[in-house]
Structure 1
Amino acid sequence: MFNAPRRMGGGSLSSSAFLTSPGMSSSTYNDPLASTVPAPGVSGGFGDVDPWSAAPSPARSGTPRDTADEVRERNVPHPSSLAGGTEGLNGLINDPPAIYVSLFDQLDTTGIGSISLASVHRLLTTSRLPASAIEKIINLTSRDQSSLARQEFFCALALVALAQSSNLDEDDITIERLSASIPNLPLPDFKPASSAPDTLSAPPLGYSADHSPVVTPSTSTGFNAWDNTPRTNGFSDSHPQSGDHVSSGYSANGSAFRSDGILDENQLGYWKRLEHVDVTLITEKEGWFLQKYRIESDKRSAGAVSRRYSDFVWLLDCLVKRYPFRLLPSLPPKRIGPDASFLEARRKALKRFINFVVNHPVMKDDGALNVFLTEGSFESWRKRTKVSTEEESNSKKLNSAQEMAIPSDLDEKLNLLKDNLSSILGSYQKLVLLSEKSLARLINHSADSSRLALSVNSISESINKSCYKCSTYNNDGESNIIGESCTLCQGISKGLIDVGESWSKIAEETESKVTIITNHIESLKSIRDLYLSFRDLFIRHEKLSKDNVDYLNKKIEIRNKKIEQLKTLSKPGWEIEIDKLISINDQDQSTIILLLSRRIFIKACMWHELSIVFHSKQAFQTILNWKNLTNDKIENLKKIENIWKNLKINLENMSIE
């Protein structure tokens, strides 16, 4: 019972509630990493400025909603003001036809549970309905001024079908009339115009070259999870013993520098060969609430696998225990009853996490990581396999070159970064928040551009109806076109159509710019994650690098004095007592040697993370991020400039007299 899949449409909702439920409107949400805590086994914080503060990220809210009086003045009933409803409408919204769901999945390319107004406008334009009818449908269904949620979108499709089947004027398109027509409501018909104007940009996802909607179908092995040797097929349940793996040097993949800090020209451009792991949200829940993610790497041949959030937690726990002195990003938190915005933000954070790990020059070959990315039956594998979480210093040894590469002033170098981490993190947090505000403005601008196109197109259709030369009243008191439009009305109507098409293109290009800024924000967060990883590394180092060498030395010193006393007194059985003390001293001395080797290994790790991983990632991620943003913005501005230039040419060639 509790594992039964949930219905796609959700629970029972009345016709008045389906457009006003909390999940339907854009909600303000905090950055899902705002309440993050250090990795498992780590407590406390670092610095005076905590970038994971509870400051909310900007909500994707639209332009201010109309007041009730303004709505009444325009005689356009807002859906939230509708009372009652019928089972027919409620059933259609909760259990829509398959084509409704397919269209929504195609247009919801980000998986956040809503569709931008520009995409909805683009789809409804192919319905061949008058612009005024399309504007009325969007006004009825869009409570959020910048997008339509799932149930709002389904209602919009139903209103399109109603208008098509009954050939209604915009004034006759109402939610009440839709409710009464549900039993015999046909499917909406979307066909692109044969003379659709060429757009200046590639068709968006979910559309073919002629902008008609496209519906596409939705769409092991492992090895020893501790083995850090190159990956092979199959895995073993056995675990290496201490000393089995002797590292001859750190992998240079992930940096153009070797572990001794010398430039390796063979590794130049390494950032072009990085592994990419895609993380997508699986819409079907496991049981009532368990959410799964589809994981697929472009460099591992196992194909796509599904993982739960708890699987990511298991992976991070293993990596923290094995590599406590390596850079490791944090995971986003869990939330009971998360909304679509939170789920999307968490998906992005999980994607940043796994891509950080798979491109770390040491952890990328970890056995547990490979099983996480490739094993199809992951839960059963975890049940039958005991995974070692032994610290890497117990099984890896440094060579002389690596020991010599550790600078004598390593502590001073680390302190330089530690002293400036707080201010850098604070600056990056401000960059992220400001970029998210810019993103919210772009989303609103795209929606407003679509609404401008709708209004202009509606006016172009009304020109002939309001002209005394082009139309007159019939016996029923309705306006009829009496013949060809006059020359002036033809010119105005043609000009307004060009203006409306231009604003539609502006909305599409602005939507492309939304994608550009979204990618830029993710890049900023990736760089921020890098600094946060070093903050957590400093915390782990302070806690886990401590040992009892001094204590053991004191114990050995005390035993040596006792041995001398026993020799001096020479009491019966003193030889046996001395042998026992010497044996204990030998054991402690061996432990001290191992601990001193661990101290050196820890220093080597910290130097490697600072000089190779951190330094290289900081450079290429920062520069490439701003390069990509600059190039994308230039291309976007060129396309928008061409739109206005073409409109200018069209308008200048038209007579105004």
Structure 2
Amino acid sequence: MFNAPRRTNPSLAQSAFLNSAGSSYPDPLASSTPNPGTAGYGDVDPWSGLPSPTRSGTPRRDSEEAITQPDLGAGGGFGGEAARAGDGGGLNGLIADPPALYLSLLDQMDTTPSGDVSISSVHRLLSTSKLPAAAIERIINLTARDKSSLARPEFICALALVALAQSSDSPEPDISIEALVSSLPNLPFPSLFIPAATTSSVIRTEPPVASPSLLTSSPWDTSPRVPTARAPAAQEDTSYTNGYDVGSGVHAVEPSGYSTGSGLAGDAANPEAEAERGYWKRLEKVDVELIKEREGWFLQKYKVTSDKRGGETVSRRYSDFVWLLDCMLRRYPFRILPSLPPKKMSPDAMFLEQRRKGLQRFLGMIVNHPILREDGALNVFLTEPNFEAWRKRVKVSTDEESANKRLSKSEEMNIPADLDEKLGILRDHLPALMGSYQKLVVLAERSLGRLMAASADSSRFALGLHTVGEEMPRCCYRAGAGGGGRCSLCEGVGRGLAEVAESWTKVAEEGERRATVILLGSIEALKAQRDLYVAFRDLFIRHDKLSKDSVDALRKKVETRLKKIEALRAAAKPNWEVEVDKLVSGNEQDNSLITSLLARRVFIRACMWHELSVVFHSRQAAQATLGWREFAKVESEAGEVVTGIWEGLRERLERMPVE
């Protein structure tokens, strides 16, 4: 699906406005190479979930006007510099090399790493241009089409169209791609400023509060009035919950009707499980951020920061993550280890963002594992500033964990006799669990896409109502010379429509904020739970492959040697003592190896029991509970906000003139 060929167009201006997404979102992390060894455990691919969408994928209708430019390479440059670039002139030159002001506005408006700007954010920005509502609606319709966001080329073109409209002396300027291309050599900069509420991903639009001024002053009164100050917006914490950090900000009070215990008798018999109780209150948070500047063509780097290891930021490449996982797999083959997101040549912004989240979940699972978090290689990975030089000068041991650790008698006694049966129960149910969570991730992504599309439609509602509100007083017959130039009825209705449009704008902002919270919290919580099941499936695969040993073969060799020794002693041939000594030495070595392998068997069983009863059991329960608590909290608050918006509007609409 993701690797399907895409439509291409030699003209950058044309390809900038083509809707490359279909009705469903592609999979940026799907790998064409199946995961080896997954047969018998279901067909769930941990990276086959739909990505968190950054734009809507509604196909364009053929009847709509296409925004294309036949040949922009021969056009004039922007500011004289693009004209000297030869083929980089015209609109192509502006999009490929925009002025610094354009890039600054894009960086400030793009609050997510997706590289796109939502329509509601663009609407807020363009509202500061002092252009008529019809002009703003025309610009957004030209650049956004049916999509819920604007990519970088579309956003740059929208800014250029604003500059074109602002530079026109006509009350109804010609806003079109053709007019833009013809005016590019002398196009001024747009006059805009970043509104206070542009960071809609963290700004909460509170319900209107009833105040004396609001109750006594009608918004549709055509007489001059002093604008009422808005109440300050409250901020919502939408910090990313990586790895096991799912809903850690939720108060840990158990609701009535639910048991607070998780097998107290079993925990009392397992000191390690008891020690892990409340682990989610002590989580280490690791942030992974994409560094936009690349080294060469392919080397993409990431900034990694841990809040419990000095807080220093280090730079890492994808190959460094591969090295860390390889060390962990060699050292701890019988521990729960997450998978890495795949690599891809020439990745786009969506793929890079999904891979960044996958890397963050990867580290989040490792640093909060009760055993893996103490690993020295992991600590160096998170703290060493010159990591490449360190790897060259230090030889890292990759000996298996069982070679350096020994179990105490109490630890051996703690392993249940029916461990294989307990593991078998989970093994039988893992495919269903993975499949169910995979479906939940897909459904959540679809719901997020619909929410973002609804937010974009709310912004379009606001645009259309603003336009109608401005045009209604102008088209009234009383606005002519015979009517005195004004119509209080139409002006009052126009003000009312502007208030309705403002409410739609608030709904769009709240939808965008809610989508961001769902994107950063709820969907990542589902993926973290899915990753836990996939990691245990992979643990089963490694166990089946790596737990095999040669104890039985060695025992047969020892028995064969013993029989040969008895035969030599009975025959008493010359120099038989030398041959017997060799056989006895071989038996001693094999018996020592058998003892080590038997100890490894016990250690493997202890690891599997620890991962099942301590790590998996606690994570599975806590992540599900805390994740859905946070989701219910977000949905409840979002409903209250939207209800407050419409309730406040309903009260004000009672005073909107009818006749």
**Shorter-chain TM-score tier:** 0.7 to 0.9
CA RMSD of aligned residues (A): 3.1
Aligned: 1:108 with 2:113: no
CA-CA distance at 1:161 after TM superposition:
1.8
Aligned: 1:50 with 2:44: yes
CA-CA distance at 1:200 after TM superposition:
13
Contact 2:51 2:354 in 1 (8 A): no
CA-CA distance at 1:62 after TM superposition:
3.3
Query: C-alpha distance in 2, partners of 1:627/1:70?
Result: 44
- Give SS of 2:294's match: strand
Match of 2:497 in 1: 496
Query: C-alpha distance in 2, partners of 1:564/1:313?
Result: 54
Contact 2:114 2:349 in 1 (8 A): yes
Query: C-alpha distance in 1, partners of 2:656/2:577?
Result: 116
CA-CA distance at 1:404 after TM superposition:
0.9
Match of 1:398 in 2: 407
Aligned: 1:287 with 2:296: yes
Q: 1:104 to 1:589 in 2, by over 3 A?
A: same
Please give the residue correspondences for 1:539-554 in structure 2 after superposition, counting only pairs within 5 Å: 539-554=541-556
Please give the residue correspondences for 1:119-518 in structure 2 after superposition, counting only pairs within 5 Å: 119-143=121-145, 145-169=147-171, 171-191=173-193, 202=203, 261-262=270-271, 268-301=277-310, 303-471=312-480, 485-518=486-519
Query: C-alpha distance in 2, partners of 1:12/1:70?
Result: 19
> One-letter code of the match for 2:101?
I
Query: C-alpha distance in 2, partners of 1:257/1:392?
Result: 26
Contact 1:33 1:332 in 2 (8 A): no
Query: C-alpha distance in 2, partners of 1:371/1:291?
Result: 20
Please give the residue correspondences for 1:513-524 in structure 2 after superposition, counting only pairs within 5 Å: 513-518=514-519, 519-524=521-526
Query: C-alpha distance in 1, partners of 2:449/2:383?
Result: 37
Query: C-alpha distance in 2, partners of 1:349/1:200?
Result: 21
Contact 2:118 2:148 in 1 (8 A): yes
CA offset digits 1:20-71 (Å, max 9, x no partner)? 4687999842251565755xxx634342443558686696663745534343
Query: C-alpha distance in 1, partners of 2:202/2:501?
Result: 17
The normalised TM-score by structure 1 is 0.82
Query: C-alpha distance in 2, partners of 1:415/1:450?
Result: 53
Query: C-alpha distance in 1, partners of 2:481/2:465?
Result: 23
Match of 2:239 in 1: none
Query: C-alpha distance in 2, partners of 1:173/1:210?
Result: 36
CA-CA distance at 1:102 after TM superposition:
2.1
Q: 1:211 to 1:45 in 2, by over 3 A?
A: farther
CA-CA distance at 1:375 after TM superposition:
1.4
Contact 1:19 1:80 in 2 (8 A): no
Query: C-alpha distance in 1, partners of 2:385/2:584?
Result: 54
> One-letter code of the match for 2:14?
A
Match of 1:526 in 2: 528
Q: 1:22 to 1:438 in 2, by over 3 A?
A: closer
> One-letter code of the match for 2:63?
D
Query: C-alpha distance in 1, partners of 2:330/2:409?
Result: 26
Query: C-alpha distance in 1, partners of 2:464/2:341?
Result: 43
Aligned residues: 582
Query: C-alpha distance in 2, partners of 1:404/1:417?
Result: 22
Match of 2:646 in 1: 644
Match of 2:576 in 1: 574
> One-letter code of the match for 2:324?
L
> One-letter code of the match for 1:67?
R
CA offset digits 1:446-485 (Å, max 9, x no partner)? 1111111001101111012111112469xxxxxxxx8663
Deviates more, 1:47-56 or 1:518-527: 47-56
CA-CA distance at 1:114 after TM superposition:
1.1
CA-CA distance at 1:372 after TM superposition:
1.2
- Give SS of 1:360's match: coil
Query: C-alpha distance in 2, partners of 1:633/1:413?
Result: 37
Query: C-alpha distance in 1, partners of 2:469/2:626?
Result: 46
Match of 2:218 in 1: none
Contact 2:291 2:303 in 1 (8 A): yes
Query: C-alpha distance in 2, partners of 1:615/1:167?
Result: 70
> One-letter code of the match for 1:357?
I
Aligned: 1:79 with 2:88: no
- Give SS of 2:304's match: strand
CA-CA distance at 1:258 after TM superposition:
7.2
Contact 1:259 1:608 in 2 (8 A): no
> One-letter code of the match for 2:555?
N
Contact 2:131 2:166 in 1 (8 A): yes
Q: 1:284 to 1:167 in 2, by over 3 A?
A: farther
Contact 1:259 1:612 in 2 (8 A): no
Query: C-alpha distance in 2, partners of 1:200/1:601?
Result: 48
Give unmatched runs, 5+ long, in structure 2. 1-7, 76-88, 206-229, 234-263
- Give SS of 1:126's match: helix
CA-CA distance at 1:163 after TM superposition:
1.6
Of 610, 621, 633, 1:619 maps to: 621
- Give SS of 1:284's match: coil
Match of 2:253 in 1: none
Contact 1:323 1:392 in 2 (8 A): yes
Contact 1:58 1:436 in 2 (8 A): yes
The normalised TM-score by structure 2 is 0.82
CA-CA distance at 1:290 after TM superposition:
2.1
Q: 1:458 to 1:201 in 2, by over 3 A?
A: farther
Match of 1:217 in 2: none
Contact 2:111 2:201 in 1 (8 A): no
CA-CA distance at 1:184 after TM superposition:
2.6
Q: 1:466 to 1:642 in 2, by over 3 A?
A: same
Q: 1:427 to 1:311 in 2, by over 3 A?
A: same
Query: C-alpha distance in 1, partners of 2:368/2:523?
Result: 20
Contact 2:532 2:616 in 1 (8 A): yes
Contact 1:133 1:169 in 2 (8 A): no
Q: 1:272 to 1:170 in 2, by over 3 A?
A: farther
Query: C-alpha distance in 2, partners of 1:46/1:13?
Result: 47
> One-letter code of the match for 1:502?
S
